[in-house]
Structure 1
Amino acid sequence: MILGCDWIYQHSPIGMDLKKRTLSITKDGISRVQFSDFTDPGKSSNIDEIKLHKLLAKGVMGYLLQLKVVQPEAQPNQDNSALVSEILDQYAEVFNEPSGLPPKRDCDHTIPLKPGHSPPNIRPYRMPHHQKDEVKKLIKNMLDQAIIQKSQSPYSSPGMLVRKKDNSWRFCVDFRQLNDHTIKNKFPIPAVDDLFDELQGANYFSGLDLTSGFHQVRVKEEDIHKIAFTTHLGHFEFLVMPFGLTNAPATF
């Protein structure tokens, strides 16, 4: 017997006892009707596709059910604001603008090169006057932060500007020729789908928004001369990991 929603709505409230497998209708405090199910709750039957088509052809009613796991929405805790503020105040130095060089670490970036290569030496790209002013400002900032220095390296890659999402400029270097001579790191970058699978069922997420994240990783001293670059202001070299190196994402 199948009881539709309209019937259930009309005769509500309805009592159900899943252990006794009974359903009863009560009106004015008196049990009026009681249905009992004597089927084995652990018993089920399967039907193959061919038999299903035959039954449907005979006019048997069929229903397609799609089950979906619904998780309750996590309710935000309104009492965490004071705790969050306390933690932010305790570690305020973490949110300061970076200045100076980061500490030396075992994971400092290296640039292994193929044997027999010749150092790339490319002239700086031509750029409009307004970009030259921006390059001058960015070079001064990097010199003040001590993340670049003057260079006399035989290596030279051209500097350039790239627009960021907020419409400001990012200083980059065209390291394509240097990358061609670099021994590639085969570290596998995780697939996005795999990362989403790992997050399944999670309710709280955290992330890191680093200021110029690559610049918070140093370059091995023996490799600094390889990432020298030129602009209309002269010849410089990075002391930290710049954008555009082939193995930089793996190091980061």
Structure 2
Amino acid sequence: MDSREDEQERIIYHRVTINAVETQKKTEIEPIGLELSSSGSDMPAQSRLLVRDSVIGNKSVKILIDTGASTNLIKPGLASKARSVQKVQARRFDGTWTSSQTTKRVQDTILMEGMEFPKMQFTEWDRPDTHDLIFGQPWFTKYNSQIDWRTQQIEVADHTKFEDVDGPTFQDKMKSGAYDEIYQLKVTNVEPSEIPQELNPVLDEYKDSFLEQLPDEMPLTRSVNFELQMKPDAVLSSRAPFRISKVEQDALQQFVEENIRKGWIEESKSPWVSNIFGIPKKDPATGEFPKRAEWLRSGDSKIPIRWVIDYRYVNSMSIVAKIPLLLIEELIDRMVGCKYFTLLDLAQGYHQMVVLPSSRPYTAFRTQKEMYQWCVAPLGLSGMPGAWSRLMRTLFDKLRKFVVVRLDDICILSRTMEFHVKDVRAVCEVLRKDKLYARLSKCAFGLKEIAFLGHMVSEDGIRVDLKKTDSIATFQAPTCCKKLLSFLGLAGHYRRFICNFAQISCPLRDSTNQDTQWNWGEDQQKAFNALKLALQQSPTLKLPDFTHPFIVITDVVGSAWVLFFRNVSTTATTPLRFIRNILAP
């Protein structure tokens, strides 16, 4: 144990080992192995604690930089986002274990000495008064940090520092070419997605329903399971295998072994065989999807991969039940008057549903060594969205007054926090009873505004999601009919927000006629720009309140007619919805 001395106090930090009780996996957490003892003021600087003033959220905190800590630690309650909750045990210095207690894995952005460290992950653990956080080995590894222990200077390799520059200095530097690139940013204030204190007891009680990974077991056989029926004239087809590289073979073998261990797949003798191939998942560090060619050239079989099975032929030969999916507008309209929202994201949604034994042969896929078939519902089969939606409606039908479900997204909505706690508890009880699991890191609790199905919904009404308006703003002018249809599809999704959508988009629709030659002239460009501007400046609409009468206002604009609705109320003058159409010639 290292000995470091400070003239103010004497503190002994024991080496601590955390044992996750729930998962039976041990994670070494070694906050510090040091001893501070009283001494004179003539001790050299390198013997003292290396502590830095920092900011987390709007709070000033102190960070202890410790090369001996194998995990980043933080005082409970400081971080804004909880990622997981679990019971843990700590091993004392003498080797004995403490009783189990609940702690959280949390995430937040840290500002230290002009440097920003985004999405830092910590384990909550009680800290002494000398510091609030510990930067341990994960921080040193990620940022390749170097410390001069004589001067206690910290150098972070290739890390950008923030510098405040006044207007005249900025203009001078820009003219002299001091900046390689310049960006204009739009800054908005976003509330941190903290978990309200009122909901913490509920999450602690139902923490077994919030897992990052599904348990290694089969899901329950419920009243609704996935079943696939083939057409009477269906013709068997065994697709020729794709040729895959060595790195893909190694990664696929890991995928197969993992799913056999879980019981999710089994060996198959089916004559219906489809091919499988891999696509790299999003890189959490860059937020981008690596190209498949880059992955294959890397030779790294441990990169996270999304496996895709080519079920196109099976889908063409199957009978798909026409189970309706609820309209997005209808789901959002049910949120009127609600002030608190919780979003739950079911982990690996379809894999939480059983495939009936009679349908499993149709899910078969081949590797270079063997054939396998799914025991849990896979991605890629055309009947899956409808079957999953029916299961969700069956399970949450009794809670439909305060629950909205769209595929694997569950939204809980309430008028008061008191009701919201009860509503969240009721949903968690359904999850536990039917062994459904939500991914805590992708859930949001007790928010006053949520992003739901491409819209921002709050007590004030509904507006277009800022991410969607950004993608619309950067959309390049179409060069072919296919790209134009893609833009009109994106814009048409938000037509309820634009008063004269039909008239504005008329020149663009005229250019979608594939029987005529592609034409993109001045009229089309003006309509394209006007539609982009209208979508970026779209208003916030009120949600319809069916306890009040409605006013319908009509107008004819050029070759189109327009309707928009409004509630009869002394305070609500904002439109509810715009409806438009083209007049027949």
Instruction: Name the CA shift for 1:190/1:164 in 2 (closer, same or farther; >3 Å).
Output: farther
Distance 1:144 1:207 in 2: 31
Amino acid at match of 1:164: K
Say whether 1:140 aligns with 2:257. Answer: yes
Q: Over residues 155-184 of structure 1, what are the superposed CA-to-partner deviations in whole Å (9 max), with x where a residue is unaligned?
A: 101112234345532122111100001112
Residue in 1 aligned with 2:518?
none
2:360 pairs with 1:224 = yes
User: What's the counterpart of residue 110 of structure 1?
Assistant: 227
Q: Say if 2:266 is the partner of 1:149.
A: yes
Correspondence for 1:243: 379
| Map of 2:199 onto structure 1 | 84
Percent identical: 27
Q: Which moved more, 1:94-103 or 1:209-218?
A: 94-103
Query: What CA distance in whole angstroms lies between the structure 2 residues aligned with 1:182 and 1:79?
Result: 45
Judge which range, 160-169 or 144-153, deviates more. Answer: 160-169
- Superposed counterparts of 1:1-252, under 5 Å: 80-81=196-197, 83-96=198-211, 97-98=213-214, 99-166=216-283, 167=289, 168-252=304-388
Q: Structure 1 residues 245 and 79, CA, compared in 2 at 3 Å: closer, same or farther?
A: closer
- Find the aligned partners of 1:165 and 1:178 in 2 and give their Cα distance: 28
SS in 2 for 1:86: helix
CA distance in 1, matches of 2:195, 2:376: 41
Shift of 1:79: 9.6
Contact 1:109–1:217 at 8 Å: present in 2 too?
Answer: yes
Question: Unaligned 5+ residue runs, structure 2?
Answer: 1-190, 284-288, 290-303, 389-585
RCO greater where, 1 or 2, for CA within 8 Å and sep 6 or more?
1
| Cα distance change on mapping 1:190 and 1:163 into 2, 3 Å | farther
- The DSSP-based 3-state class of the residue aligned with 1:237 is strand
Counterpart-to-counterpart distance in 1, 2:367 and 2:360: 17
Partners of 2:280 and 2:326 in 1: how far apart?
27
Question: CA contact under 8 A between 2:281 and 2:305: conserved in structure 1?
Answer: yes
**1:194 partner letter:** E
CA displacement, residues 129-160 of structure 1 (integer Å, 9 cap, x when unaligned):
32222212211111111100111111101112
Q: Distance in 1 between matches of 2:350 and 2:382?
A: 13
How far the C-alpha of 1:206 sits from its partner, in A, is 2.2
2:401 corresponds to? none
Measured in 2, the distance between the counterparts of 1:154 and 1:213 equals 27
Residue aligned with 2:260, SS: helix
What is the CA–CA distance in structure 2 between the aligned matches of 1:232 and 1:239, rounded to whole Å?
20
Mark the CA change 1:248 to 1:104 in structure 2 (over 3 Å): closer, same or farther. Answer: same
Change (3 A) 1:79 1:214: closer
CA-to-partner distance for each residue in 1:12-58, whole Å, 9 max, x for gaps? xxxxxxxxxxxxxxxxxxxxxxxxxxxxxxxxxxxxxxxxxxxxxxx
8 Å Cα contact 2:280-2:305 kept in structure 1: yes
Secondary structure of the residue aligned to 1:105 is: coil
Q: Do the aligned residues in 2 keep the contact of 1:229 with 1:235 (CA within 8 Å)? A: yes
SS in 2 for 1:110: coil
Q: For 2:225 and 2:266, how far apart are their aligned partners in 1?
A: 18
**TM-aligned CA distance change 1:141 to 1:251, over 3 Å:** same
Higher mean alpha-carbon deviation, 136-145 vs 85-94, is at 85-94
CA contact (8 A) 1:172 1:242 kept: no
**Which has the larger Rg?**
1
User: 8 Å contact 1:136–1:233 — kept in the other structure?
Assistant: no
Moved more, 186-195 or 170-179: 186-195
**Given the superposition, is the C-alpha separation of residues 110 and 79 from structure 1 closer, same or farther in structure 2, using an over 3 Å criterion?**
closer
CA contact (8 A) 1:123 1:230 kept: no
Question: Which SS does the other structure have where 2:385 is aligned?
Answer: helix
Letter in 2 for 1:94: S
Change (3 A) 1:114 1:147: same
SS of residue in 1 equivalent to 2:308: strand
- Partners of 1:201 and 1:129 lie apart in 2 by 57
- d(CA) in 2 for partners of 1:244, 1:162: 14
TM-score, scaled to structure 2:
0.28
2-structure distance, mates of 1:109, 1:205: 30
Q: RMSD of aligned C-alpha atoms?
A: 2.3
Aligned length, in residue pairs: 176
SS in 2 for 1:207: strand
1:195 positional shift: 2.6
The separation in 2 between residues aligned to 1:243 and 1:120, in whole angstroms, is 20
What's the CA shift for 1:188? 1.9
Q: 1:131 to 1:202 in 2, by over 3 A?
A: farther
Letter in 2 for 1:87: V
- For 2:326 and 2:282, how far apart are their aligned partners in 1? 24
